Structure 1
Amino acid sequence: MRKRNALKLIAACAGISSAAAILNACSKTPEQSFQSVDITGAEYARDFRLPDFDGRERTLADFKGKAVFVFFGYTQCPDVCPTTLAELAEIKRQLGPDGARLQAVFISVDPERDTPEVLKAYMASFDPGFIALRPTPEQLVALAKDFKLYYKKVEGKTPGSYTMDHSAGSYIYDPQGRLRLYARYGMGAQALAGDIAALLRG
C-alpha cells in the first residue's frame, strides 16, 4: 500500500526523481503564489548601470538584501508615475519594519527635462529613500531593448511642449538581485505589498 501511494505521488509530480524535489514540487503553499506576473528566470532586464541624481553609478548589486522595485517614467507624468510612487510609499508603510528593505528605483525616460536636481526633488516628495536614475539618450535606447520598454516623445499643442508615452509596468527583484516579478499598473498597494513581503521572506 505504501509503495502504491509513493508511485501515485511520483506520477503526480511528473516523474521527478529525488524525494526532496518531489516534496518541493508538490507542496506549494499560498505564500508561493503572486498577484504580479512571475517571470523568474527571464533572460532580460537582468541589471542596469546608470548614474543617480547625485552622479553615483548604480547597479542592482548596490541594493543586495532588499527587494528592488524598478519602473520607468518622467517627472512631468500626469498620472502613472505619481500614482506608482504614492503606492510605493504606502507599500513601504504597510511592510512595517520590513519597509526599510524595499528600494524604489525610478528610471527617467525624459533625461532632457529630468535634470539631477529635478529628479532628486521629485523623489523626496514621495520618500527620501527612493532614488532616480538618469540615463543618457543612448543608454535609454539600450535599456528599452533590454527591459522590453516602450517609450515615445509626443509633441504637444504649443511649440516646444511634449509628453512621453511609456510602458506602465514595473520589475521587482528579490533580495539576491534576481528578477522575479512583473507588476502591472493598477494592481494596488495591498496586492503589491503582499508580493514584496513574500520575496522578503524568501
Structure 2
Amino acid sequence: MAGHAMKLIARAIAALLVAAMPVACSAPSAPARPPLEGATIGGPFTLTDQDGHLVSDTAFKGKYRIVYFGYTFCPDVCPVDVQNLGAGLRALEKSDPALGAKVVPIFISVDPERDTPPVLKQFVSAFHPRMIGLTGTPDAIAKVAKAFAIYYKKGDPAPGGGYLMDHARVAYLMDPDGKPLALLPQDGKPEAIAAELKRWVR
C-alpha cells in the first residue's frame, strides 16, 4: 500500500512541476485522470474538532477536502503552508464562489499532546473561517496519519523545554467521497493553489 501510494504521490509532484512551468502558448487542458486516482490514501476516522466535538470523515461527505497534517507549535513551515492554503481557497472563493463553497480545508494535528481543541481553534481561525482543526488520541492520530501515508516523529526535548515534530509536508485534495485527487502546491502562491483547485473541483 505505502509503496504504491508513494509512487502516485511522486507522480502528482511531477505533474505539479510540469503545470508550474511557463509555456509560450495557451495553458494545457487538465489531465484526463487526477494524478492520485487509484491511490490507497485516506480512510475512515473519528477525531475531535476545535470546538471539542467528535467528527467523523462522513461529516465531510459531498465536499472536496484539502487535508494537511502539521502542528500548531511548528515554528516555520506549518503556519506558512496553512496560510498559503487558506489564501488559495479564498482566491478560488473570490473568483468562483460556488466552486469555493464546495471545498473544506482540514488541518490534522500530529502533536495531540499539545494541540488541544482550544489551541487548534486559535490556530485555524487565523487562516480561514471555515478551516477545521482536528486532533485526537495518539493512537487515533497514528491511525489516520498511516491511512494518509504521512510520516511524523516527535523530536528530542529542547534545552529550554518543548520539542519539534518532524513530519511529511503534503497537502492533499480529496474528492467528495474522500478519495485522493491530487497534491496541492502548499508552498506556492495562492494563485497556483487556486488554479489547482479549479482544475479538479467540479
What TM-score do you get using the length of structure 1 for normalisation? Answer: 0.75
- Following superposition, the deviation at residue 185 of structure 1 comes to 4.6
Residue type matched to 1:60 in 2? D
- Following superposition, the deviation at residue 101 of structure 1 comes to 2.2
Taking a change above 3 Å as real, the CA distance of residues 38 and 163 of structure 1, as seen in their structure-2 partners, is same
- Following superposition, the deviation at residue 54 of structure 1 comes to 1.9
Larger-Rg structure: 1
Structure 1 partner of 2:25:
none
Structure 2 partner of 1:93:
90
Structure 1 partner of 2:31:
32
Contact 2:72 2:78 in 1 (8 A): yes
Contact 2:42 2:179 in 1 (8 A): no
1: distance between equivalents of 2:157 and 2:185? Answer: 27
- The answer for unaligned runs of 5 or more in structure 1 is 1-28
| CA shift digits 1:56-96 (9 cap, x unpaired) | 22233322333200111110111221112211221122112
1:19-168, aligned counterparts within 5 Å?
A: 30-32=29-31, 38-95=35-92, 96=94, 97=97, 98-158=99-159, 160-168=161-169
- Following superposition, the deviation at residue 102 of structure 1 comes to 2.0
- Following superposition, the deviation at residue 182 of structure 1 comes to 2.7
Structure 2 partner of 1:186:
187
2: distance between equivalents of 1:114 and 1:143? Answer: 16
- For this pair of structures, how many residues does the alignment match? 171
- The answer for unaligned runs of 5 or more in structure 2 is 1-27
Residue type matched to 2:62 in 1? G
Taking a change above 3 Å as real, the CA distance of residues 187 and 46 of structure 1, as seen in their structure-2 partners, is farther
Deviates more, 1:97-106 or 1:184-193: 184-193
* Identical-residue share of aligned pairs (%): 39
2: distance between equivalents of 1:33 and 1:156? Answer: 47
| CA shift digits 1:19-56 (9 cap, x unpaired) | xxxxxxxxxx712369xx81111123234321212232
1: distance between equivalents of 2:91 and 2:111? Answer: 31
